[in-house]
Amino acid sequence: MEKTSMYPDPIEYWSDKRICLTGGSGFLGSFVQEVLAERGAKEVFIPESKDYDLTKRDNIIRLLEDAQPDMIIHLAALAGGIGANRARPAEFFYNNLMMGVPLMHEAWKAGVGKFVAIGTICAYPKFTPVPFKEDNLWDGYPEETNAPYGLAKKMLLVQAQAYREQYGFNAIYLLPVNLYGPRDNFNLETSHVIPALIRKMIDARESGAEQVVLWGDGSPTREFFYAGDAARGIVLAAERYSGEEPVNLGAGMEISIKDLAELIAELTGFSGEIVWDTSKPNGQPRRVLDVTRAKEYFGFEAQMPFRQGLQQTIDWYLENKDNIA
């Protein structure tokens, strides 16, 4: 049982906080909004990208003047699957670096009380021992297809620790694993693996196609983390954790892409053949986190069973697919 007495009362903690939630209107951000509201946050400023291009310093300064935040939760990112990372590596590096590093710098200058930086599992070395422990973050170069993105986001950890050491700035760094859930991005050009598989298999079932073609050979393993759980972990860390060490956020599970594809085929009712295009890259061989720190440091454990989370994601897509590009 969680020992709540060691933590602040959430309603009391959040009631007078002004929070700036970058990326708040996106997939993960929509869940973070819900958790903040549940825990008593009343003032949450959500900058829209059309109004605040966070790759430009003048817009960052204007954002801080407009929001006057006590805390920034920085979710905003240019992200996508292997295909998008391979097609646009320079954009993935520049945009993520320039959204994050100047934002943290200006937040420190403006006297913001806390900065919650959201990193990425892509920051880990390509051949990290499984399960990934935070202490292994610097033991090698990231997997090549998403290294520019992973390294750009990893610089926020370097910055957070340097600003804490020199300035006493309270910046924390969290590493969520691959997310999924309702409201995800189902665009086949830019989506991650679960929404892509769901869309491909439902399209194939509805069109009567006899097969779907998937990238790689199906052998890599991944951990998948329900976005609602991720949001709860982020908010608990924002509320309860103020340390220098990076912290993994995940469910502590592992499944091969082949088994994932077969499970999604079952849940979507696709009975055709799954064909693996081995001319396409697999990505990182294995990916699963050690999630001990999150439980020890701020009492977080994932709750959503994987099959149930997948079914909720599929149901959401079926209800909304006519409005998805």
| pLDDT tens-digit readout, 215-261 | 899 999 999 999 999 999 999 999 999 999 999 999 999 999 999 99
Q: Closest Cα to residue 201, out of 265, 257, 258?
A: 265
Task: Look at phi and psi of residue 181 and say left if phi exceeds 0, alpha if psi is from -120 to 50, else beta.
Answer: left
Distance CA 145, CA 151 (A): 12
- At 80 the pLDDT is 78
Q: Closest Cα to residue 132, out of 89, 83, 178, 191?
A: 178
Q: Please state, rounded to an integer, the average pLDDT across all residues of the chain.
A: 94
Where does 11-184+224-253+286-304 sit in CATH, by number? Answer: 3.40.50.720
Q: What integer is the mean pLDDT of 136-165? A: 96
Catalytic residue numbers, as ranges: 149
- At 9 the pLDDT is 94
- At 324 the pLDDT is 85
Distance CA 325, CA 320 (A): 11
Residue 43 backbone dihedrals phi, psi, to 5 degrees: -120, 100
Is the Cβ–Cβ distance between 294 and 229 less than 8 Å?
no
Distance CA 107, CA 68 (A): 10
Q: What integer is the mean pLDDT of 110-139? A: 95
Task: Give the number of other Cβ atoms within 10 Å of residue 311's Cβ.
Answer: 13
Distance CA 73, CA 129 (A): 30
For residue 220, the one-letter residue type is P
212 pLDDT exceeds 50? yes
1 pLDDT exceeds 60? no
Q: How confident is the model at residue 147 (pLDDT cuts 50, 70, 90)?
A: very high
The residue ranges of every structural domain in the chain are 11-184+224-253+286-304
Residue with tokens 């869940």: 31
